[in-house]
Amino acid sequence: MSEAGPGPGPVAASVCASATAAGGAGGGADALLVRCRALVRPALARAVGQLHPWTSEMAAFSLGWADVDGTPEPGASEGKGVRQALAVLGAEAVGADGRAAVAGAVAVELVHAFSLLHDDIMDGDTVRRQRATVWKAYGTGPAVLAGDALFALAVQSLAEVPGRHTGPAVRRLGGTLTDLVRGQAEDLCFEGRPWTGPGAVPPDAYRAMAEHKTGSLLGCAAALGALLGGAPDTTVAALDRAGRHLGVAFQAVDDLLGVWGDPAVTGKPVHSDLRRRKKTYPVLAALAADTPAARELAALLDTTGTPAVTGSAALPGPGATLDDPATAAHAAFLVERAGGRDATLREAADQLDAARACLRGVPLAPGPSRELDALLEFLLHRVV
């Protein structure tokens, strides 16, 4: 059953064949993320410090700044800060000082922390970044409260920015918040839909979900930076669209990692998304193919917990479910054979191209524009 292994090598290597064009996508983006975190961190820490001590403690834990007892844990479990970097670069790309974007960067990071926190409750996830999730560490009720506190703080932080950009900035954040929640609703509703037939999830519905759930906040981050940096509406809108495409690409790569990612790096069990029967892009794309592997995959998925009777030597025996590692591995093999992996790589590359086209369509300062490119590619290369 060696052919049912986790697939040909690391996922990320082949996502962006053109990545090297921008140069330094790895180290350059790392340094950029460090710089943006350093710029935004004081204001972010100040905002979190304004919360009630209890919610502040949970917020610090969720941001990776402290352990569950409140002991500072500098950087150990901190996120990369992609959204704050997009905000800072959004401002710099329109010729403003990155500091103009700080309030927007704080708001999007807080919204991101809120959404991870509440999504972990809804998804029942117990581990994030190699640590317990907030609900697992503090209880469900307190985690709901901590998420609400971050959400409220995001709105307040941005609304308190003095100046003429506040109204449009908060309007943009408000639309993003509803998009984000809509995306989570769509994703949860996918779970109840069939794998095949008229009720199955078409690729466009998946893209809309990914754009809402992931793209809206990435787009908002870049757009807020530009807006607070004084950019014209067309530039702000282009950065928003770029971020939305990036979000779909990001989600597609996330889906690849959820099936073929290295557990030591992702912190999730191998084939975790398959075992949870998530409606991910690779599986949906595989099922859409008209091939024997696609049909075998459909039969396997439709008969979870019951014997998959197809006579294939690679198929697991009677009684197998996707919880069974061998069955999940076989499903991953079928997804790949039916073209699901390649289709997802293409989708990610296409969305990345679309994001780049949005950026090329408006006048941006060359230096920050190159940094934006590097960040885009870094995100698609990520292995966590």
Segment near a second copy (CB under 8 A); pick from 19-27, 169-177, 228-236, 371-379: 169-177
Whether the CB-CB separation of 95 and 365 falls below 8 Å is answered with yes
What's the one-letter identity of residue 113? A
Please say which residue, 95 or 142, places its beta carbon nearer to a second copy: 142
Question: Per CB under 8 A, does 186 bind a second copy?
Answer: yes
Considering only residues 34, 137, 155, 365, which one is a binding residue for a second copy as defined by CB under 8 A?
155
Interface mask toward a second copy for 28-57; x: CB under 8 A: ----------------------xxx-xx--
Binders of a second copy among residues 214 to 243 (CB under 8 A) are none
Considering only residues 70, 142, 230, 269, which one is a binding residue for a second copy as defined by CB under 8 A?
142
Considering only residues 144, 237, 288, 365, which one is a binding residue for a second copy as defined by CB under 8 A?
144
Considering only residues 10, 72, 167, 292, which one is a binding residue for a second copy as defined by CB under 8 A?
167
Please say which residue, 185 or 354, places its beta carbon nearer to a second copy: 185
Binders of a second copy among residues 95 to 124 (CB under 8 A) are 118, 121-124
What DSSP designation does 98 have? G
Question: Per CB under 8 A, does 156 bind a second copy?
Answer: yes
Considering only residues 30, 67, 148, 262, which one is a binding residue for a second copy as defined by CB under 8 A?
148
Considering only residues 42, 75, 175, 305, which one is a binding residue for a second copy as defined by CB under 8 A?
175
Length of the chain: 384
Considering only residues 18, 20, 126, 178, which one is a binding residue for a second copy as defined by CB under 8 A?
178
Please say which residue, 132 or 181, places its beta carbon nearer to a second copy: 181
Question: Per CB under 8 A, does 153 bind a second copy?
Answer: yes
Three-state SS string over the chain comes to CHHHCCCCCCCHHHCCCCHHHHCCCCHHHHHHHHHHHHHHHHHHHHHHHCCCHHHHHHHHHHCCCECCCCCECCCCCCCCCHHHHHHHHHHHHCCCCHHHHHHHHHHHHHHHHHHHHHHHHHHCCCEECCEECHHHHHCHHHHHHHHHHHHHHHHHHHHCCCCCCHHHHHHHHHHHHHHHHHHHHHHHHHCCCCCCCCCCCCHHHHHHHHHHHHHHHHHHHHHHHHHHCCCCHHHHHHHHHHHHHHHHHHHHHHHHHHHHCCHHHHCCCCCHHHHCCCCCHHHHHHHHCCCHHHHHHHHHHHCCCCCCCCCCCCCCCCCCCCCCHHHHHHHHHHHHHCCHHHHHHHHHHHHHHHHHHHHHCCCCCHHHHHHHHHHHHHHHHCCC
Identify the residue whose tokens are 């809108």: 237
Instruction: Give the shortest CB-34-to-a second copy separation in angstroms.
Output: 30
Please say which residue, 251 or 344, places its beta carbon nearer to a second copy: 251
Segment near a second copy (CB under 8 A); pick from 73-81, 181-189, 329-337, 345-353: 181-189
What's the one-letter identity of residue 23? G
Instruction: Give the shortest CB-247-to-a second copy separation in angstroms.
Output: 17
Q: How much is the CA Rg of the chain, to the nearest whole Å? A: 21
Segment near a second copy (CB under 8 A); pick from 126-134, 176-184, 273-281, 282-290: 176-184
Please say which residue, 149 or 362, places its beta carbon nearer to a second copy: 149
Beta bridge pairs of residue 127 = 132
Please give the Cα distance from 282 to 339 (Å, whole number): 8
Considering only residues 25, 149, 331, 358, which one is a binding residue for a second copy as defined by CB under 8 A?
149
Please say which residue, 162 or 366, places its beta carbon nearer to a second copy: 162
Please give the Cα distance from 345 to 252 (Å, whole number): 8
Please say which residue, 80 or 165, places its beta carbon nearer to a second copy: 165
Instruction: Give the shortest CB-153-to-a second copy separation in angstroms.
Output: 6
Residue numbers at the binding site for a second copy (CB under 8 A): 50-52, 54-55, 118, 121-124, 140-142, 144-145, 147-149, 151-153, 155-160, 166-167, 170-171, 173-175, 177-178, 180-182, 184-186, 188-189
